[in-house]
């Protein structure tokens, strides 16, 4: 499957500009044969948390219509990174996933809120996992800081995910953590990891991209630069079964042993 990562320079507090840029870039990757498109975190507003009352997508309506139309028109799967939403009275960091017939197959609110960027002061955390099917591929999606919780990604792999998507706005100051953690999650879960970071800056942070596509043996198939760009990379999902057969980690796990410690 040809996977496109769109490493966007997200405009701060400017949804109009961001929707326009995303549409333009999706058209470009489609012209290069993309069958699945992955976007970064909070691509509608960036971290304009103090302005969410005016800017967040109410019930995700605009984003859902936009992504559904693009998925159907171009016959592409879209893992829609995430957008800031207002659902009921609360704000969330929400991922929407569309299959290539334009159907919503996944909706996920970021489960671990990142205090260093004040998310806990403005957003509510989600309480549900995010496993979905695109064509014949079972996949999972988490958001940025969720990456630091290996048990959360493992839970998605155990629920059947053969590929994990990780959209992010991960600042350049900790980019070494990003790269190492992504590679570790691919190796330990024996799955593909498709991780899309942003570039550019907001009032508090610099972002330098380094989006990654990593195969289940840990091989890095693509790393983004520090510029706005996209990549279209051919991925062979049969590698997952090969790796899981070579080292049968899932058979050798001893969950009852771990559980006794977790319960202490």
Ligand X SMILES: O=C(O)CCC(=O)C(=O)O
Catalytic residues, which ones? 41, 110, 144
Out of 21, 68, 169, 189, which residue is the one contacting ligand X (CB under 6 A)? 169
Taking residues 132 to 151 in sequence order and writing x for each that binds ligand X by CB under 6 A, - otherwise, the string is: ------------xx--x---
Q: Which is nearer to ligand X, 41 or 57 (CB)?
A: 41
Asked if residue 174 binds ligand X (CB under 6 A), the reply is: yes
The token pair that represents 152 in the structure block: 């959360």
Q: Which is nearer to ligand X, 108 or 114 (CB)?
A: 114
Q: Which is nearer to ligand X, 70 or 142 (CB)?
A: 142
Out of 38, 76, 117, 195, which residue is the one contacting ligand X (CB under 6 A)? 117
Least distance (Å) between residue 112 CB and ligand X: 7
Least distance (Å) between residue 166 CB and ligand X: 10
Q: Which is nearer to ligand X, 74 or 207 (CB)?
A: 207
Give the DSSP letter string of the chain: -EEEEEE-BPPTT-HHHHHHHHHHHHHHHHHTT-SEEE--TTTTT-S-GGGHHHHSEETTHHHHHHHHHHHHHHT-EEE---EEEEETTEEEEEEEEE-TTS-EEEEEE-SS--GGGTHHHH-PPP-S--EEEETTEEEEE--GGGGG-HHHHHHHHHTT-SEEEEE----GGGHHHHHHHHHHHHHHHTSEEEEE--EEE-SS-EEE---EEE-TTS-EEEE--SSSEEEEEE--THHHHHHHHHS-HHHH--HHHHHHHHT-
Q: Which is nearer to ligand X, 21 or 82 (CB)?
A: 82
Q: How far apart are CA 92 and CA 191, in angstroms?
A: 27
Query: Which of these ranges, 79-87, 163-171, 189-197, 223-231, lies near ligand X under the rule CB under 6 A?
Result: 163-171
Least distance (Å) between residue 188 CB and ligand X: 18
Q: How far apart are CA 35 and CA 159, in angstroms?
A: 24
User: Which residue has its beta carbon closest to ligand X?
Assistant: 145
Asked if residue 120 binds ligand X (CB under 6 A), the reply is: no
Least distance (Å) between residue 135 CB and ligand X: 29
- By CB under 6 A, the count of residues binding ligand X is 10
Question: What is the side-by-side order of every strand in the sheet holding 192-196?
Answer: 131-134, 137-141, 163-167, 192-196, 212-214, 220-223
Asked if residue 94 binds ligand X (CB under 6 A), the reply is: no
- Radius of gyration of the chain from its Cα atoms, rounded to whole angstroms: 17
Q: Which is nearer to ligand X, 65 or 148 (CB)?
A: 148
Out of 74, 114, 132, 192, which residue is the one contacting ligand X (CB under 6 A)? 114
- Per CB under 6 A, residues contacting ligand X are 114, 117, 144-145, 148, 169-171, 174, 177
């Amino acid at each position: 499957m040809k996977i496109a990562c769109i490493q966007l320079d997200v405009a701060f507090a400017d949804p109009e500009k961001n929707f326009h840029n995303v549409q333009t870039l999706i058209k470009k990757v489609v012209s290069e044969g993309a069958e699945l498109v992955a976007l970064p975190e909070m691509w509608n507003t960036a971290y304009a948390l103090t302005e969410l009352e005016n800017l967040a997508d109410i019930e995700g309506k605009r984003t859902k219509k936009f992504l559904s139309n693009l998925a159907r028109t171009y016959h592409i799967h879209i893992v829609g990174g995430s957008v800031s939403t207002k659902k009921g009275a609360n704000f969330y960091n929400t991922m929407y996933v569309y299959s290539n017939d334009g159907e919503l197959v996944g909706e996920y609110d970021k489960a671990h809120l990142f205090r260093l960027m004040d998310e806990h002061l403005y957003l509510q955390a989600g309480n549900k996992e995010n496993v979905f099917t695109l064509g014949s591929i079972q996949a999972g999606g988490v958001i940025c800081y969720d990456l630091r919780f290996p048990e959360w990604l493992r839970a998605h792999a155990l629920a059947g995910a053969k590929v994990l998507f990780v959209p992010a706005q991960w600042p350049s100051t900790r980019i070494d953590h990003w790269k190492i953690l992504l590679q570790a999650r691919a190796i330990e879960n024996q799955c593909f990891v498709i991780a899309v970071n942003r570039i550019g800056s907001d009032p508090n942070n610099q972002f330098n991209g380094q989006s990654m596509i990593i195969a289940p043996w840990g091989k890095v198939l693509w790393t983004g630069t520090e510029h706005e760009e996209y990549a279209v990379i051919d991925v062979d999902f049969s590698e997952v079964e090969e790796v899981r057969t070579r080292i049968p980690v899932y058979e050798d796990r001893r969950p009852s042993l771990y559980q006794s410690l977790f319960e202490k």
